[in-house]
Chain A
Amino acid sequence: MTREQFRPPEHDNEHFLLTTVVGSYPKPKWLHRARDLFEDDDSSFDAENFEEAKDDASRLITHEHERCGLDVVVDGEMRRNEMVEYFAHRIDGYEFNGPVKVWGHNYFDKPSVTEDVSYAEEWLISEYEYNSSVATRPVKVPITGPYTLASWSFNEVYEDDAELAYKLADLVNEEIAGLVEAGARYIQIDEPALATTPDDHAIVGECLERIVADVPDDVRLALHVCYGDYSRIYPEMLEYPVEEYDVELCNGGYEQLDVFKEPAFTKDLAMGVVDVHIAEVEPVEEIKENIKKALEIVPPERLTVSPDCGLKLLPRDVAYGKMENMVTAAREIEEELDAGELDIEAPTPNAD
């Protein structure tokens, strides 16, 4: 088990509910302005200036996460414009043809795979190195998974999306090797596309087998799957070679909580305890009730407390408020656990 390395030295409680975020966080308005200037040919704001702006934003949000009290922090993905585009720009074999519709007037620069994909420049290693150099807490690295990278691209080359996903999984494995060498110990694979096509869970499993090859045991690997019908991938997903599953349940009012009770949840659970689609900060008491629901699935030593999904669409003060209250709620639950005050229907231990 890898989680003890993330317990802060100054942690007061005997129990430890690991608190973290999924990844994205609202960008400061000035970072958007910096991007506009950088993309404006008439402006003297150059690549070096823009890099400096992104460094500033990463440091700012990393520290903001620390001020919320989170045990493991991220930089809010300040350097990433979008979760597929960012990676496609760094992988050889991709090209961009222009925006396509997602809904209404919301578009996505969906890339095309036009040649065999191969590893070119690094994706996240310098991001990790920078973030860990400015952070006083451990840094998590969210990385878009190969199944999502494949599903949300036009595939002009490979026989099917599974074949493309496996090729991309080998590249993710290469990137993770570099991240681990740089010191990363907490890596989260994001596979939102699995929520929309749950029948492909075996393809995601095969991708993950490729991703984890030669990753040392002390590296914590998590899988994030956004809101979907989890009953269609559970319990099969427990077979995946990852330690932690990060799921979005708050948004659905915990209607799917029971899905994870039978059969018993055998891995670590990172459960969403605040809703990222509601721009109101949940009170601490409400978040505590949500954490107690998670404790019906796993014992405290296997629980990670996090928001449902990335926070980037919220106003920044709301995102901050949610994280601050989430950490307070987690610490209060720890105290109640330490004092033996919490009465929770504990999960049934496994027969083995």
Chain B
Amino acid sequence: MTGFVSTTPGLYPLPDWAKDELKSLKGNQKTDLISGDEGPEVADAYETVREEYITTQQEAGLDRIVEGQGRWDDMLAHPLAVHDNVDTRGIVRYYDNNNFYRESVVTGELTPSGDVAAELDAARNLIGDDEALQAVLPGPYSLADLATDEYYGDDEEFLTAIAEFLASEAEEAGEVETTFLLEPSLVENPPEDGEDERAGNAIDTVAQAAGGDVVVFPYWGALEEKVYAHVMDAAIDGLGFDLVSDSDANVYNAQEYGTPDQVALGVVDGQNTLVESPEVIQERVEWFDEQTPQNDYETIYATTNTETFYLPVNRFEEKLEALAAAAELEVTA
């Protein structure tokens, strides 16, 4: 029997009070953003944010609890942006959005930093023994794509270094129920011949080290077929399908190439304020299941199709509630 699990890919919008408070504590210029050595006042504000995120998820009734990544000023580039051997420079566009992050330029060896592990430890302390923690990290291909290399000097070596860095971060993070590796660049800037195999190997490196079930989560479309095949070769437990952006191409991949035992279905729009009802979410999950009768899923995660920081807080919270309610519908149906 398929397990139906409600979750999210993290990167939550800051609560409105925290937007104001952190802006006044930190400033709003690019030099004021998170550096990894923030003072006690800023750290306290983020601790409160983390508590609110976890309460919001608990009250909604989500099956996986994420830390929420309130500190991730630079979105998926964050693990590099706070690293000692990475320079943050000008403001650059974040994918095809009207959002920007600091160009993260790697100028030295990517040694383990423990930044992600510290956040997950803090989150672990805030949840009950019967609750399931989910780690969220950028996938190695996307993190390399968002960064600039001025140290390794070779694309192949750089991707390997990023993968080993993420593997060390994931390993240090300890035991979690699930790890989501967000890989939008696999769709937005797909790897070319040869590079696709290396991307699959890089994901494998991180997946081997990460805790719990490891789900690779691409979005803003569907993977190209060859990329899909290489990602399937990695030691992953689950793969994501963005049904909001492109349901047909995603279903095609699942039909033609099969899937891992677990699938994460992006069935709620992370970039639109229109709130899907639990029934609509359930229909979208069932539609995918019906379109792929050849696959037998051990677990289906229902989630937003993207990170959620694009949303205003009220609609973000309503979407979390809708996802959790949809999972309840499935279970009782």
Contact = CB atoms under 8 A, between A and B. Distances in A.
Nearest to B272: A154
A175 to B, nearest CB: 24
Given A99-B19, A105-B28, A154-B274, A196 B312 contact: no
A101 B14 contact: yes
B99 A104 contact: no
Contact of A101 (B29, B99, B314): B99
Nearest to A154: B273
A277 to B, nearest CB: 10
Contact of B33 (A98, A104, A112): A104
Contacts of A100: 13, 309-312
B312 A99 contact: yes
A52 B32 CA distance: 36
B30 interface: yes
A86 interface: no
B93 A97 contact: no
Contacts of A110: 312
Nearest to A193: B98
Contacts of A152: 98
Q: Please report whether the interface of chain A is mostly helix, strand, loop or mixed according to DSSP.
A: mixed
Interface string B62-105: 00000000000100000000000000000101101011111000
A304 B13 CA distance: 43
Nearest to B73: A104
A266 interface: no
Contacts of A105: 19, 22-23, 26-28, 32-33, 73
A97 B312 contact: yes
Interface string B3-37: 00000000001101001001100111110110000
B126 to A, nearest CB: 24
B211 to A, nearest CB: 29
B98 A98 contact: no
A112 B30 CA distance: 28
A103 interface: yes
Interface in B98-119: 98-102
Q: Please report whether the interface of chain B is mostly helix, strand, loop or mixed according to DSSP.
A: loop
Contact of A196 (B23, B91, B93, B311): B93
Contacts of B22: 105
B91 A103 contact: yes
Counting chain B CB atoms within 10 Å of each CB, the highest count among A97, A104, A114, A193 belongs to: A104
Interface residues on B, range: 20 to 34
B178 to A, nearest CB: 25
Contacts of B19: 99, 105, 107
A102 B312 contact: no
A81 interface: no
Interface in A55-113: 97-107, 110, 112
A155 B274 CA distance: 8
Interface in B309-331: 309-315
B16 to A, nearest CB: 6
A2 interface: no
B273 A112 contact: yes
Contact of B28 (A104, A154, A156): A104
B22 to A, nearest CB: 6
Contacts of B102: 104
A339 B98 CA distance: 48
Interface string B204-221: 000000000000000000
Given A98-B312, A98-B314, A156 B99 contact: no
Interface in A180-214: 193, 196-197
Contacts of A112: 273-274
Interface string A150-177: 0110111000000000000000000000
Contacts of B96: 196-197
Given A98-B312, A106-B28, A196-B98, A156 B14 contact: no
Contacts of A102: 98-100
B96 to A, nearest CB: 7
Interface in A255-288: none
Nearest to A148: B98
Interface in B118-139: none
A252 B157 CA distance: 32
A308 to B, nearest CB: 17
Contacts of A107: 19
Contacts of B100: 102-103
6 contacts: A97-B312, A103-B30, A154-B271, A154-B273, A155-B272, A196-B96
Given A103-B91, A106-B28, 19 more contacts: A98-B312, A100-B310, A101-B14, A101-B99, A101-B309, A102-B98, A102-B100, A103-B99, A103-B100, A104-B30, A104-B102, A105-B26, A105-B32, A107-B19, A112-B274, A152-B98, A154-B273, A156-B272, A196-B93
Give the 5 A-B CB pairs with smallest separation, nearest first: A103-B100, A98-B312, A97-B312, A105-B23, A156-B274
